[in-house]
Amino acid sequence: MTSTNCNSNVDAACQWSLDALYKGFDDKAYVKDCEKFSQLIDEYISALEPIERGERTFNVEALCEFLKREEELWLIGKDLHEFTYLRSAVDAGDKQALSAMAALRKGYGKMARPSLFVRRCTAGLELTEEDFAASPLLADYRFVIGQMRLEGAHQGSSDAEDVFARMQGCAGDAWIDLRSSLVGFATAPLDGKELTLTELRNLARSTDAETRRKAFDAEIECSKAISVGVAASLNGIKEQVILQSEMRGFSSPLDMALFQSRMRNETLDVLWEVVSEHLPTLQAYLKRKAEILGHENGLPWWDFFAPVVSESSDAPSFTIESARAYLVKHLGSFSSELGELIGRAFDERWIDFDPRPGKSGGAFCRNLSNQRQSRVLTNFDGTLRAVDTIAHELGHAFHGQQIETKRPLNRCYTMPVAETASNFDELMLMSAAIEEAKTTEERIALLDARLSDVAQTVCDIFSRFLFEKSVFEQRAEKYLVAEDLCHLMEDAQKKAYGPALDPDALHPYMWVNKVHYYMTTLSYYNFPYTFGLLLAHGLYARYQEVGPSFVECYKAFLSATTTDTVEGATAVAGADVTTREFWESSFEVIEAQVAEFLALTE
């Protein structure tokens, strides 16, 4: 069994420390910030009342005043929200965290109407070049002000937005909490043990075929047991999003998601167009994998991540310490700044490693920009795959480092560009691992590991996009029971994977497991992964072409993501994401790896 040097019962070093934020909910600093947060909200509302009554003009001076007030709210609210979110992420039953999050949501709800009023006033305010030249604050927030104008023009009535915000805690967020609770504590028996959904899903990478199949069956039964409640959650969330998009003047939830992403519809269209044309390449890889594993009708879902080469005694396994060294070696060679960040993440306990009941599955990274740190949640099992996951999340941390010194309201990037640095790290790490392979079998195994991830990020994400689009379209007409959702999921998987997967062994309950569907503030949290992966491939090709000088260009792109559109930020790195040519070039590395895999496994 792989040693991870991690036992949550005795070794706190395997869990992250949140002391940089607060030492607990009874920390005097936390209590003080909660009080200050409420005070700032009340002061914001009070300062706005004379303007609403017509007793004061909303002019350049007023705009500067409210930008400063929003800065203060952002700084304190960021810390309170991150602490509460991170506490609940590792313990779904943390009552203090649940209560604190409810209080925060109520506070943000009070801000909805006044914040909207400020944006509407900003939309009607005429600003000159002289105004920007005379005010460093306005100059710094030029892009933010432009976004505020757009948001002001794309909102429902003041009363409607106020109701949406105030009801979020007992509406959308309540559905989100229901789903989190059901999934967080769901278990199923396997070989005499009760395993969580996360633990069952991790077994999909087992080297034992029978274990993979049994774990998949247990996962399906576990998902089915909670599917009625989770389906209710999904229906409630999607109905709310449909209503919000209509009242804000968007043609569809997808139109609203692209607006929030600061991305043009045409860019997404050309991305999916090129992806659709290249699906056969990844399907060829999956069909060959099915043949190797002895399947005649395509790959069954439980063998999607199955290794095609039997694990040898010298297969890489990692402790936390060796994972750190591996990451520093391969990612630090790209940028010493990235290598130093990795060292800090391990030394300063940014990472929560071990899986345990109540802890969120999968992995994520949260940037703590006020502290100039990040926090990474992962479920580490000592495999190269687990190290690759940490690399992915530390890519987000590196992205955060490029924007942490900006003014508070200039630290927010959108989801399509959010997944670029993470995928860039993965690509660097796995490319290095493949090149270091000592035998043909090891090279095949690493190519398989890499291509299975790419296939999931391209084919599976495409299926998730198609599924969510169908859910929105049908939810506008009817309530979707669990069986309806399963049918939609299977249809989407068939379209994305074609003949590569066994049509009788798909995953109808994938909608239960993916948290990305369960958000009222951001829909279609799927295409950003494909965008990020393929953008990373295109940028990596440029790095190979120009060498070390690309690093500064890459950092400039990451910095630009908070103060530009998707198309504008990527142009900083020399990428024109509005063209077929760029996305075609992004597939060149993938096609070469598929060709090599097919040749080696002939």
Q: Where in the chain is the domain with CATH 1.10.1370.20?
A: 188-312+455-526+582-600
Mention every residue, 6+ apart, whose C-beta is less than 8 A from residue 124: 152
pTM: predicted TM-score of the whole model, two decimal places? 0.87
Mention every residue, 6+ apart, whose C-beta is less than 8 A from residue 262: 147, 414, 564, 565, 566
Pairwise pLDDT comparison (445 vs 11), residue with the higher score: 445
pLDDT, average across residues 109-133: 91
Q: Where in the chain is the domain with CATH 1.20.140.70?
A: 22-170
pLDDT, tens only, 400-438: 999 999 999 999 999 999 999 999 999 999 999 999 999
pLDDT on residue 315: 64
Mention every residue, 6+ apart, whose C-beta is less than 8 A from residue 210: none
Q: What are phi and psi of 367, to 5 degrees?
A: -80, 125
pLDDT on residue 309: 85
* Distance between CA atoms of residues 511 and 262, nearest Å: 26
pLDDT, tens only, 356-409: 888 887 899 999 999 999 999 999 989 898 999 999 999 999 999 999 999 999
CATH superfamily of 188-312+455-526+582-600: Oligoendopeptidase f, C-terminal domain (1.10.1370.20)
* Distance between CA atoms of residues 176 and 141, nearest Å: 33
pLDDT, tens only, 153-206: 777 666 777 777 777 777 888 898 899 899 988 999 999 999 988 889 889 888
pLDDT on residue 93: 86
* Distance between CA atoms of residues 100 and 18, nearest Å: 16
Q: What are phi and psi of 355, to 5 degrees?
A: -75, 145
Reading the block at residue 546, the tokens are 């120009």
Q: Distance between alpha carbon 582 and the CA centroid of its chain, in Å? A: 23
Q: In what order do the strands lie in the sheet with 364-368?
A: 351-352, 373-377, 364-368
Closest by Cα among 142, 164, 166, 168 to 64: 142
Positive/negative CA dihedral, 62, 67, 68, 74: positive
Per CATH, the architecture of 22-170 is what? Up-down Bundle (1.20)
**Helical H runs in 348-460?**
384-403, 415-418, 420-435, 440-455
pLDDT, tens only, 230-273: 999 999 999 999 999 998 889 999 999 999 999 999 999 999 99
Q: What string of DSSP letters covers 274-301?
A: HHHHHHHHHHHHHHHHHHHTT-SSSB-G
| Percent with pLDDT over 90 in the chain | 80
Q: Give the pLDDT band of residue 2 (cuts 50, 70, 90).
A: very low
pLDDT, average across residues 34-54: 96
Secondary-structure breakdown of the chain: helix, strand, coil percentages, each rounded to the nearest 5: 70, 5, 25
Q: Find out whether 97 and 91 touch, Cβ atoms under 8 Å.
A: yes
pLDDT, average across residues 286-299: 96
pLDDT on residue 3: 42
pLDDT, tens only, 10-31: 467 789 999 999 999 999 999 9
pLDDT on residue 362: 81
pLDDT on residue 11: 67
